[in-house]
Each structure stands twice: as structure tokens, then as C-alpha cells.
Amino acid sequence: MPELPEVETIKNELLPHIVGHQITGVTLFWDGIVRQPSVGEFCSRLIGQRLTRVARRGKYLILSLTSHEVLIIHLKMTGSLLLKPASAEPDRFIRAILHLNGETAIHFRDPRKLGAMWLVEDENTIIGKLGPEPLEAEFTPQILLTRLSKRRAPIKALLFDQTFIAGIGNMYADEALFAAGIHPLRSGGNLSPDEVGRLHRAVQQVLRNGIKNMGASTDTYYRPSGETGFAHHHFQIAHRGGKPCPACGTPIERIPIRNRGSYFCPKCQPAPK
DNA sequence: CCCGGAACCTGAAGGC
DNA sequence: TGCCTTCAGGTTCCGG
């Protein structure tokens, strides 16, 4: 499930192979992957464009084109972008192919068909409501404290709310809360300034570690080369229900929050109230 | 505005 | 062996 570190890795590894290349063709195996504009418009306006820049915002990839339009891609839960030779046969989960000059192609693989692409003139129509980038200078402990004040929702729910802060999903939210020693059901607005400081530091640390390890291949995440990432080998808490807490040995618990499995240590992360 | 739950989507895993 | 249910969770939508 690609979150910020996975999308950042994909961006970094895709970039040198595609910037400066021209889109020579588009093949769609599932039309639903195109959200905007119509499928016909999407393909005809894309063909002939050169890619000038690849960027990331939250979990979105933004590919800039010579027409000054942007191709925005979201991988949702099970999507990956694979670099393939032009002659490669698509497997049964490939939903779209972007053919590039220079005998390469980008295969958009997505078993669960939740992924999406948009071709728009103004990227803000798609990503305009995202919260701050957690690894940018704008994201300070003070900003986090201000944004948390008066919020009653569980801190876990706020961490993976993309309008609250961009790029964090279920796994890295659990990892950050464990590193900060904060129970996932604590109300956001009730955290002390000291706890907010620890959480700010923990968020940046787990995301940077994720990037350093080229993302977490817990499910269907692959890098553009088809290789897996390694970040899941370093997870302390996420997806480790029943196993001993790495800090104190207490069995890790799992509770649903907003329909997501949330893993935490009941001793290192004391329950609210 | 804030919050919580359902819907979208399908493969994997587990129960019987 | 196979059918059925449940689970996975990023985003959007909707109701209170």
C-alpha cells in the first residue's frame, strides 16, 4: 500500500528513465482508471507530449507535460508503476500502459482497480486540499500543535486524514505513534505540547526511514524495476499483532479505528484517560 | 467545519 | 474440493 515513502521511491526511480521522453501511445485495459477527462480526450491529449518533470505531493505523483498540463497518478492501495521494455507482454493486472519513445513503457499495475489518473491544467483541482508535507520545512512542531487544537478525533484518524497532513497512511501512522509512545485513540486536541513534539519528530523519522529503505512491500508494492522495498523489515509495530513489543515484550494489540487495523503496544502507548 | 461510517474494488486467507 | 465470509485500506461521499 503505497504511502509517502513508497511514492517518493517510485518518483525517484522513475524520474531518470522518463523525464525528457515523449509519450508515443496510451493503451487502456480498464477505462475506469481514467478519472478526468473522458477516455478519448485523455489519450489524444497525452500522445505526443514530452515529460518535463516528475514530482510528488502526498501520495500523488505529478508528471508535467510540454503542453503545461499535468498527468496526476494515484496508486491507492495496490497500484504500482513498472518500467518495461516496449516489447513486454502485460500481465493480467495491468490496467494501462504509457508507451514512451526509446523503447520503454510504463505499466500501471493495479489488482484491485482502485488506482486513478487525471489529466488537468491546474493540479490544484485534484491536490489542492492536501495538508502540509511532513518532510518540508513548513511542517513544524508548532504547526502540528496548532492544527491539532480543538480536534476531538483519535490522533490515528487525524494522521491518515490527507487534508490534515499529506502522505501518511495506516502503516506509518502506527509506526509514528509507537515511536512517540502515544495511544492511537488519544484525542488529537488532548496531546500535550511535549507529546506533539515527540509525534512531530516520530513522523519525520519513520517517513525518512521508509524512504531510506525504498518503501515497504507488505502487499503488492513494487518499485518501477519490479524489486521490493525493505522498510517493512524494520517495522516495529505495524502488522505485527500478537507478537512481542520490541521495547517491552508485551503482546502487540490490534483494534479497528475508522475501519483500519491499528497496531499498538498497550504498555508503551498508555490508553487515554 | 467536524466526525464517523459506507462505498468503491478484488485477491488472499480462513472456516466449514 | 469448493463455497462462503472476512479482511486488506486510500479516497470520496454522505448523513448527523
Q: Is the pTM of this model over 0.85?
A: yes
Is the pLDDT at A168 greater than 80, yes or no?
yes
Q: What are phi and psi of A220, to 5 degrees?
A: -115, 25
CA of A35 to C1' of C14 (A): 21
Q: In whole angstroms, give the CA distance from residue A156 to residue A151.
A: 12
Q: In whole angstroms, give the CA distance from residue A109 to residue A105.
A: 12
- Closest protein CA to C1' of nucleotide C10, residue: A76
* Cell numbers found for residue A183: 495511544
For strand B, which nucleotides have at least one atom less than 7 Å from a protein CB?
2-11
pLDDT at residue number A70: 95
* Nearest nucleotide over every DNA/RNA strand to the A218 CA, judged by C1': C8
pLDDT at residue number A238: 87
C-beta within 7 A of nucleic chain C, residues 172-231 of A: none
Is the pLDDT at A1 greater than 80, yes or no?
no
Q: What are phi and psi of A110, to 5 degrees?
A: -160, 85
Work out the mean pLDDT of chain A and round it to a whole number.
92
| Cβ of A16 less than 7 A from strand C | no
Q: How confident is the model at residue A194 (pLDDT cuts 50, 70, 90)?
A: very high
